[in-house]
């Protein structure tokens, strides 16, 4: 029996179940930190995530996962997970966000999961997406169609900051050289990162982290996951798919995106507040601490949870396993 995800207590209960899923995936990936084996790390996290997810009372469908059925043995797009009895939900997962980072023992790798009521998450193809993200205080003040300089000035005004105090997070890629130069020219600060832009998007919604704006072009699946996190945090996320060839354009149309070049607002990406986001750190980062192995074999995880419809609500949770 399936049901809609419309009761606050149902969402909260389910969110805590998924928090445990993220924690188990992070623990399973941890032994591979710094071993240079991305696939093994991802495989371990994926298997642990799927096993734990299948114990949850829900009718779940993977809409963003490890790939198509012929590419991924588990957590593939369209796979049914859960007991089949309970709320009908769409699930977007990345068992190891930042596989290259964690394989090299670098910071900011984590497990991320976004969940929303059935039909409420954009089914984004695995391609590039142009993105802009801000936290709650700058919601409604940005436009992905405006020059970056204008967005920086608008964010500074919304936050009551001098432009010189605004920090813009951008992935360190050649394609972003022009964006980086615009930040320098307007007098704001750049914070570059190598991989994994979900962390940067979430950081804009947390005052204690010095990130005010995220811009750039990255993976579309990660964009939907980040949008779910920011919707839950009360922030803003806008995007536009970047089709590089006819094959990608046609794939968008096949997946129900009749106008692939359309500007995607929050309601296009995540259609309601019946959603939540959870993450668990694998290695240390600006958002979360990594997994710690304690004396006696116990494991310590550091997790993050935010639930839609509760305003700027989030929790950091440290758990001993």
149 annotated as belonging to a binding site for a ligand: no
**Helix, coil or strand: residue 70:** coil
30 annotated as belonging to a binding site for a ligand: no
46 annotated as belonging to a binding site for a ligand: no
- Kindly report the length of the chain: 321
Residue with tokens 């591979």: 32
222 annotated as belonging to a binding site for a ligand: yes
107 annotated as belonging to a binding site for a ligand: no
157 annotated as belonging to a binding site for a ligand: no
313 annotated as belonging to a binding site for a ligand: no
CA distance 214 to 208: 16
Q: What residues have CB less than 8 Å from 7, skipping those under 6 apart?
A: none
Structure tokens, 185: 């020219």
Q: What residues have CB less than 8 Å from 205, skipping those under 6 apart?
A: 134, 135, 136, 229, 230, 233, 234, 235, 312, 314
174 annotated as belonging to a binding site for a ligand: yes
CA distance 212 to 206: 9
Structure tokens, 69: 């059925």
Residue with tokens 């996190």: 229
For residue 266, give the DSSP letter: H
199 annotated as belonging to a binding site for a ligand: no
76 annotated as belonging to a binding site for a ligand: no
94 annotated as belonging to a binding site for a ligand: yes
CA distance 228 to 217: 18
207 annotated as belonging to a binding site for a ligand: no
197 annotated as belonging to a binding site for a ligand: yes
Of the candidates 175, 171, 172, the residue with the CA atom closest to the CA atom of residue 201: 171
212 annotated as belonging to a binding site for a ligand: no
CA distance 49 to 40: 14
175 annotated as belonging to a binding site for a ligand: yes
44: number of Cβ within 10 Å: 20
Residue 51, judged by CB atoms within 10 A of its CB (0-12, 13-18, 19+), counts as middle
Widest Cα–Cα separation across the chain: 58
CA distance 264 to 280: 27
Binding-site residue set for substrate:
97-99, 128, 173-175, 195-197, 219
Binding-site residue set:
42, 66, 94, 97-99, 128, 173-175, 195-197, 219, 222
Binding-site residue set for Mn(2+):
42, 66, 94, 97, 222
């Amino acid at each position: 029996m399936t049901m809609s995800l419309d009761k606050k207590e149902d969402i909260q209960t389910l969110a805590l179940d998924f928090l445990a899923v993220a924690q188990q995936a992070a623990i399973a990936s941890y032994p591979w930190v710094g071993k240079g084996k991305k696939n093994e790390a991802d495989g371990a996290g994926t298997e642990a995530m799927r096993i734990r997810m299948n114990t949850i009372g829900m009718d779940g469908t993977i809409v963003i996962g490890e790939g198509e059925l012929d590419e991924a043995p588990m957590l593939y797009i369209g796979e049914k997970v859960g007991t089949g009895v309970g709320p009908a939900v769409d699930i977007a997962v990345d068992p190891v966000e930042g596989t290259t980072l964690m394989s090299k023992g670098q910071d900011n790798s984590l497990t991320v999961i976004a969940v929303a009521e059935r039909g409420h998450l954009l089914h984004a193809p695995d391609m590039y997406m142009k993105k802009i993200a801000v936290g709650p205080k700058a919601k409604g003040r940005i436009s992905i169609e405006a020059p970056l300089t204008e967005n920086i000035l608008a964010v500074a005004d919304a936050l009551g900051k001098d432009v010189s105090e605004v920090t813009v997070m951008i992935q360190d890629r050649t394609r972003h050289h022009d964006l980086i130069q615009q930040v320098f020219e307007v007098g704001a600060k750049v914070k570059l990162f190598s991989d994994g832009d979900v962390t940067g998007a979430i950081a804009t919604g947390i005052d204690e982290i010095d990130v005010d704006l995220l811009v750039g072009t990255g993976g579309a699946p990660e964009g939907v996951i980040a949008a779910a996190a920011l919707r839950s945090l009360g922030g803003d996320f806008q995007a536009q798919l970047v089709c590089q060839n006819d094959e990608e354009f046609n794939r968008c149309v096949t997946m129900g995106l009749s106008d692939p070049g359309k500007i995607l607002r929050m309601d296009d990406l995540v259609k309601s507040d019946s959603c939540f986001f959870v993450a668990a750190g694998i290695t240390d980062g600006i958002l979360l601490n990594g997994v710690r192995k304690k004396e006696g074999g116990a494991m310590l995880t550091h997790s993050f949870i935010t639930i839609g419809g509760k305003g700027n609500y989030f929790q950091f949770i440290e758990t001993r396993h």
